[in-house]
Structure 1
Amino acid sequence: MTDLSTLRFFRTPAHPCSYLDDREATTLFVDPSTPMTSALYSRLSQRGFRRSGEFLYRPHCQGCNACIPVRVPVNQFQWRRRHRRLLERNADLTVESRPARFDRELYSLYARYIISRHGDGDMYPPSEEQFTGFLISQWSDTRFFCFRAEGKLLAVAVVDRLEDGLSAVYTFYDPDESSRGLGNLAVLWELERCRREGLPYLYLGYLVDGCKKMAYKGNFRPLERLRDNVWQPSD
């Protein structure tokens, strides 16, 4: 097993923050030449790292700690009435699992989502190369879970399997179906998937103080937050 203290890391120059306006960010990357395994990926996830394509990264900003890694302890998850209503609203959906590779149908939905929801961000404009470079990795255990209504693709949850849980890498969905709450639905589905597989945690990435696009993660409680490399119950 690789000793984390022997890993090499690279830090990017300061660049515009993707989450907060008028802020600069610095990102720490694991040396991409590091031979990656499921065990090492899992240990780095426990330290707050996330996957983007083949790269593992973590915010490393001077004077800002707004990005807090969060995960849900599956067996303690508190179902609320709004969660059950959401499931009832989407009772007509089916979910299929696909291997993580480029697919024209999935890319078409991804492109529509990026244009509609992130037209002012660094993910715009979408491209096939971006889709592949962002979502797919040769070494991760990744699946595309496709949500459909009467055969029509409405949402895709990109999920990595870790040793101690699932990592919700990304979810994209039909922007014309916003009333279904598909992003939140995907999280509920991932929690149930964890429970069925006996996995204790669902890793949700970063909860960013002041970023409305990340605020939905606070709807799933209890949350554990990573502080000083220790997972602690959220306040």
Structure 2
Amino acid sequence: MTQHSPKSPQFFLTSPSPCPYLDGQFERKVFTHLVGDKAAEMNDLLTQGGFRRSQNIAYRPACETCRACVSVRILANEFMPSKNMRRIQNLNSDIIGVEHTAEPTSEQYSLFRRYLDSRHRQGGMSEMTVLDYAMMVEDTHVPTRIVEYRLRDPDSFITGGSTGPLQAVALSDRMADGFSMVYSFFDPDQTPRSLGTWMILDHIERARAAGLPHVYLGYWVEGSRKMEYKTRFRPQEHLLADGWERIDS
């Protein structure tokens, strides 16, 4: 693994490639490696500055002709769920989420594979093998947890856990000011449960319980239908030219 000084990180720029969100646009990314004993501190600073983490790399868009990608974070302490979100919370009251160390399992990969085949068959992750999945989960130098969401079993109210069927999984970084949702996936046969929304709602509650003000959702791209859901969680902040700007409506 390439080593870089955390005190003076080296940044690199990718070559242009077709944008996965907007037709006719080309994307470039600036990135650096998150390694060493200061990786968590660097990840906090870079995430607050609009970067995202993928394995041991932090990156952000650096496109030449487009600024559509906007970093989004939810203000957890002020968030109030909508009527539809409360319905989703009630619908999933039979699911329990338990945090684990960032370790992959064959059960997780099986669900991940089903999710990709159903929702993202043509996406950039569609060919990920079990080894690729393991690297996505394990290759981290920052505080990362994996949350497994399972149907409650008869002992859940006693043990706080569950051995029930796995419904969804979220890979998240714990930062000084919140949680950053790195990647999440769910059972594609459970569409009526809106499990993607449910996991975000759960992370908001986890942030509140931990006394953390933010939940980072990554990038919102205006005009991209697959990104529209991120703007439903208000109030939130968008990282614009002058810094984080509050968005209430």
Residue 65 (str. 1) matches residue 67 (str. 2): yes
Distance 1:61 1:133 in 2: 27
Once the two structures are superposed, what CA deviation does each residue of 1:147-194 show, in whole Å capped at 9, x if it has no partner? 111501010011110011100111100000011000000000000000
User: Residues 77-96 of structure 1 correspond to what in structure 2 (within 5 A)?
Assistant: 77-96=79-98
Residue 124 (str. 1) matches residue 126 (str. 2): yes
Partner of 1:232: 245
Asked if the contact 1:74–1:202 (Cα under 8 Å) also holds between the matched residues in 2, the reply is yes
Out of 87, 101, 104, the position equivalent to 2:103 is 101
Specify the code of the residue in structure 2 equivalent to 1:115: D
Normalised by the size of structure 2, how large is the TM-score? 0.88
Distance 1:132 1:21 in 2: 31
Q: Secondary structure at the match of 2:45?
A: helix
Q: Pick which of 29-38 and 100-109 moved more.
A: 29-38
Specify the code of the residue in structure 2 equivalent to 1:154: Q
Inter-CA distance 125–179: structure 2 relative to 1 (3 Å threshold): same
Q: Secondary structure at the match of 1:43?
A: helix
Normalised by the size of structure 1, how large is the TM-score? 0.93
Q: Secondary structure at the match of 2:134?
A: helix
Out of 24, 32, 54, the position equivalent to 2:56 is 54
Partner of 1:219: 232
Distance 2:182 2:35 in 1: 22
User: Residues 17-56 of structure 1 correspond to what in structure 2 (within 5 A)?
Assistant: 17-31=19-33, 36-56=38-58
User: Residues 82-231 of structure 1 correspond to what in structure 2 (within 5 A)?
Assistant: 82-149=84-151, 150=153, 151-228=164-241, 230-231=243-244
Report the Cα offset of residue 35 of structure 1.
5.8
Report the Cα offset of residue 126 of structure 1.
2.5
Inter-CA distance 7–39: structure 2 relative to 1 (3 Å threshold): same
What residue ranges of structure 1 are gaps of 5+ in the alignment? none
Across the aligned residues of Structure 1 and Structure 2, the Cα RMSD in angstroms comes to 1.7
Identity %: 38
Aligned length: 232
Asked if the contact 2:104–2:134 (Cα under 8 Å) also holds between the matched residues in 1, the reply is yes
Distance 1:114 1:205 in 2: 19
Report the Cα offset of residue 121 of structure 1.
1.2
Once the two structures are superposed, what CA deviation does each residue of 1:93-145 show, in whole Å capped at 9, x if it has no partner? 11122211121000110111111111111111231122123333331211111
Distance 2:78 2:189 in 1: 33
Distance 1:10 1:112 in 2: 34
Inter-CA distance 209–71: structure 2 relative to 1 (3 Å threshold): same
What residue ranges of structure 2 are gaps of 5+ in the alignment? 1-5, 154-163
Asked if the contact 2:144–2:172 (Cα under 8 Å) also holds between the matched residues in 1, the reply is yes
Asked if the contact 2:73–2:218 (Cα under 8 Å) also holds between the matched residues in 1, the reply is yes
Specify the code of the residue in structure 2 equivalent to 1:23: Q
Distance 1:31 1:229 in 2: 26
